[in-house]
Amino acid sequence: MKITFMGAGSTVFARNVIGDCMCSEHLRDSVFALYDIDAERLEESRVILEAMRVTKGGFGSIECYCGVENRKEALRGATFVINAIQVGGYDPCTIIDFEIPKKYGLRQTIADTLGIGGIMRALRTIPVMEEFARDMEEVCPDAWFLNYTNSMAMLTGYMQRYTKVKTIGLCHSVQVCSYFLLKALGMEDKLENRKELIAGINHMGWLLEIQDKDGNDLYPEIKQRIEEKMNDPKCYDKVRYDYIRNFGYYCTESSEHNAEYNAFYIKSKYPELIEKYNIPLDEYPRRCINQIEQWRKEYAELLENGVKDHERSHEYASRIMEAIVTNTPYEIGGNVLNTDHLITNLPAEACVEVPCLVNGSGIHPCHVGPLPVQCAAMNMTNINVQLLTIEAAVTKKREHIYQAAMLDPHTGSELDIDTIKKMVDELIEAHGDYLPEYH
């Protein structure tokens, strides 16, 4: 079996996912094909993963493919393809996505999923993923494409609507959502055998039900305990706690992410909200710089002291592959097209995040029904942007980029239409060859 990793220069993530595969007796004998366009980073990943493979018993093999000219061979005959690319990287593209909007008074925290930063990231990534899809349709038409790249709903939704590739979008936040909520609120005693239902969209999936092992609803106690947390100056999850207060439910992704998915918290006319809710403006650029520096140190240490043994992570990828290969049922939270209205009060063409059953015949999304109307309404403010961004990528019409930015809750609440268009034009110009279709 062949497992291909696109964007293998993302060494830490590649180590986690491929390392997880090496922990599985059903996957460890695979050929692990690593693909990237950066030769230096690809070699770093090869060195780490090869050492890990030896540490794990020497099963399987690792192959490396560098550059677009070798991409098709990297994909040829793959059973599973993992996608973790970042088109344009931190420098220059992430810097552009933050600095130009900042000139117009538009501040961001992460800018990879929604907002003007998320729109631009999706537009420069979709053409690359379309090339992946065309190659896969030719050389591994039956492979599953496991997408981890943001903007998740836009990229996954595009692949599901406009290619023949079997695609599932995967995030880290669903499987740890209730765990970290209960732990943060001092309710660890409720963790064992808890029952939950999460559904919505990526990064704004709602914890609709949370019960202890005996079936008791935990939300009443959760709602009591968050009031104390909201008064804690060191609490960094206040946006999501505020969601519980005002919308009734907790959501999957962190407060720094959700602070920019709406019109409520990052507001130039209300600067005091930044401190009140502990919102880390410009968090992602800082995180990138720290991660780059941390990886340099870690890589030097690994070369000197050797690779430590890997323990299987909470990422879904290896579990999905194992469930399909062994026909052993496994449940995930996956990003899928809302075909047949899995969530009945969201549009059919939306990419939604719902429980999915995985087994030998593939990945099967579960019907959820309607979300609470306020939760569906919050999701729709994001879905509008996602659908218009996909429309721009398909039609190559700049007007749809304008419309996506205009309808983005945060952008539209801060800037007027003419300013939004001017900002979009400047971003397209600055991204240059990463967005050639719109010049």
Active-site residue set: 172
Q: What CA–CA distance (Å, rounded) separates 292 from 166?
A: 33
For residue 173, cis peptide bond before it (omega within 30 degrees of 0): no
Q: What is the 3-state secondary structure (H, E, C) of the chain?
A: CEEEEECCCCHHHHHHHHHHHHCCCCCCCCEEEEEECCHHHHHHHHHHHHHHHHHCCCCCEEEEEECHHHHHHHHCCCCEEEECCCCCHHHHHHHHHHHHHHHCCCCCCCCCCCHHHHHHHHHHHHHHHHHHHHHHHHHCCCCEEEECCCCHHHHHHHHHHHCCCEEEECCCCCCCHHHHHHHHCCCHHHCCCCEEEEEEECCEEEEEEEECCCCCECHHHHHHHHHHHHCCCCCCCHHHHHHHHHHCCCECCCHHHHCCCCCCCCCCCCCHHHHHCCCCCCHHHHHHHHHHHHHHHHHHHHHHHCCCCCCCCCCCHHHHHHHHHHCCCEEEEEEEECCCCCECCCCCCCEEEEEEEEECCEEEECCCECCCHHHHHHHHHHHHHHHHHHHHHHHCCHHHHHHHHHHCHHHHHHCCHHHHHHHHHHHHHHHHHHCHHHC
